[in-house]
Amino acid sequence: MIGRNKVRGWKGSLKTSSKISVCFFAFLFVISLMVPALSGGHVISYSSEGLVDDVDSSLNDYDHEPMPEALDAMESCDNVTVTEVGDSYDSITFEPVGVDPVVGYAFGSGGYVDPACYAPAARAFAEEGFFVVLFYPGVGMPTGGPFEDVIDDYPEIEIWSVGGHSNGGVYACEYFDDHEPAGLNIWASYPNPGFIGIGRTDLSDKDGEFMSIYGTNDGVTEVSDIENSEDQLPEDTEFVEIVGGNHAQFGWYGDQSGDNEADITREEQQGIVINATLDHLESLWGYHLTINADEGGTTDPEVGTHHYGEDEEVTVTASPDEGWAFCHWSGDVSSTDEEITILMDQDMNITAHFVEDEITTTEIELYLNDDSDGWNFISFNLDIPDADLEEILEDEEHGISGSFDRVLYYDPEQNIWHSYVPDRPDHFNDVGSWDSNMGIWIRMTEDDTLTIEGSEPESQDITLYPGWNMVGLPIETAGNHGLPTEVTSVGYFEASQEYNLAYDHDVGSFEFQPCQGYWVYNSHDHQVIWIISP
């Protein structure tokens, strides 16, 4: 059984020889001038029983036709759809079923070799999620035109690698030279060395993923020619040596004149070719991110499978529907954050989970009280996503717009007061968020009711910094709620008192009320965490 061979770098030491003869190219060039139709094509229909119909018996008639194993691979199945395409060239597509392929492999067959002879390999690539098109690029003066015509037919494919066997590989190199797709993978082939007025193809300065696969027993393409063309490919080109492999066993079309006998079976050689080429295609592919979501919310990117490049960072956000709340991510990422960032260094599968979230309403009565000059000391007791103070207070339906003129909040961490004044430039208003842990002072210009909508809160942690802290009771249940022993005094709103505050030093029995604001004094020189549970 043939295992997956890891592609290795070029070692610079080749033992045996292969050949794409310069004389052969020269001959083809002369012939192409004499018979222009030589690089044309015809459309062929296939069945598992063999060749059914030669629609156009032109000068392109193939010398090498598919073996039964290749014809069997031409049949569509549950996971691969095979389609014969009637265009300027004999072409056959292999498309994975149930997957929108991102990477395509355009493969040109060898001279006078029916493209169907490479169907078993093409099917194997499609089974792994790649789109493959086999076609006959012609013979004669090599150009990239056939590849361009074929690739233009499939604009939905985002990433392309081009390649081919023998003469098809030379055409692929010409296409790469002009268009620079993402990759080049050639079998028993090398870039045009230059002859009879045709310029040398130099890809050494090109970017992309390059692979060259060759057999040591190849009697048609000499290994020495591959070695001599090393400087025509980038330094990081990966060369795969198939010890004992020959020229004809890159396809399924029987023996070939001038070839040497292989020391390994066709199945063994095909296994090495397929696995090495899959390594090449996967290097272009990157990885898949599969996003799932339970009922109750959506994600961005949306639910489904998405393709990203290797080591790309992807931000995914979960958004609960109305009446629902985000719970957590599971799968290859575990997090309670709605927004997560994923490093794509492997295929990833994640699921967003949501829970039903009953909306609760709290009404806070606010007064223009002469004793307090309109000041009220308040908090709220619900969970509000992205609780923005301005949005809460200025909300047209539930807010108190026009009924207040100032908000104050003391930040114990920075030891500084912050304020918000309606219609003042934003850069002067430095109270941004207002969460249920915060108490605020708000000065009313008339009586009004502030309505807040949110969900029933869960446990809350309030950080008490050394000194005075402005806090609220973030739940709806009154009580002491285990106030830390470091707290030695609590100030609460009393309109008639000086500064509208009264103080209680018996903190162990003090009862906090929801929607009220409080001053809490932490007498120690370190932070204290006050854990409040519903």
Give the pLDDT confidence of 79-97 residue by residue, as tens digits. 999 999 875 457 999 999 9
**Shared-domain flag, residues 188 and 66:** yes
- Asked, for residue 6, whether it belongs to a domain, the answer is no
Give one word for 252, left, alpha or beta, with left for phi > 0 and alpha for psi -120 to 50.
beta
Q: Over the stretch 96-113, which tens digit does the pLDDT of each residue have?
A: 998 889 899 999 999 999
233 sits in which H/E element: none
300 shares a domain with 251: no
Q: How far apart are CA 83 and CA 185, in angstroms?
A: 23
Cβ neighbours of residue 123 under 8 Å, at least 6 residues apart?
A: 73, 80, 82, 94
> Of 353, 222, 380, whose CA–CA distance to 293 is shortest?
353
Judge whether 252 and 311 are in contact, CB under 8 Å: no
**Residue that terminates a domain, selected from 331, 356, 381:** 356
Residues 6+ apart with CB under 8 A from 33: none
Residues 365 and 507 placed together within one structural domain of the fold:
yes
How far separated are the first and last CA of the chain, in Å rounded?
A: 63
Q: Of 285, 316, 337, at which residue does a domain stop?
A: 285
Does pLDDT of 17 surpass 70?
Answer: no
- pLDDT of 387 > 50? The answer is yes
**458-469: pLDDT as tens digits:** 888 999 999 999
Q: Comparing C-alpha atoms, which of 231, 232, 237, 246 is closest to residue 188?
A: 246
User: Could you give the CA distance from residue 346 to residue 286 in angstroms, rounded to a whole number?
Assistant: 8
Which of 202, 96, 100, 220 lies closest to 165 in space, CA to CA?
220
Domain span at residue 314 reads 287-356
Q: What is the mean pLDDT of residues 393-408?
A: 94
- The reply to whether 45 falls in a domain is yes
- Tell whether 161 and 277 lie within a shared domain: yes
Q: Are residues 335 and 248 located together in one domain of the fold? A: no
Contacts of 336 (CB under 8 A, 6+ apart): 327, 328, 329
pLDDT at residue 18 is higher than 80: no
Does some domain include residue 61? yes
Q: Before 534, cis peptide (omega within 30)?
A: no
394 in the same domain as 260: no
Do 311 and 393 lie in one domain? The reply is no
Residue ending a domain, choose from 255, 285, 315 = 285
Looking at residues 183-210, what average pLDDT do you find?
Answer: 88
CATH number of the domain enclosing 294: 3.10.20
Please report whether residue 13 resides in a domain. no
pLDDT digits (tens, 9 = 90+) for 232-258: 999 999 999 999 999 999 999 999 999
Residue 301: inside a domain: yes
In a domain, 9, yes or no: no
- For the chain, the domain total comes to 3
Residues 53 and 184 both lie in one domain: yes
C-alpha closest to that of 366 among 404, 332, 335? 404
Indicate whether 1 belongs to any domain: no
2 assigned to some structural domain:
no
Q: Are residues 49 and 168 in the same domain?
A: yes
Q: Model-level pTM?
A: 0.52
pLDDT at 25 over 70: no
Domain match, 363 and 294 both: no
Residue 2 has a pLDDT of 30
- 533 pLDDT exceeds 70? yes
Same-domain check for residues 124 and 220? yes
The answer to whether residues 315 and 367 belong to one domain is: no
Coil/strand/helix, residue 489: strand
The enclosing domain of 85 has a CATH number of: 3.40.50.1820
Q: For residue range 284-336, what is the model confidence (pLDDT) as tens digits?
A: 877 889 999 999 999 999 998 887 877 889 999 999 998 788 888 999 998 88
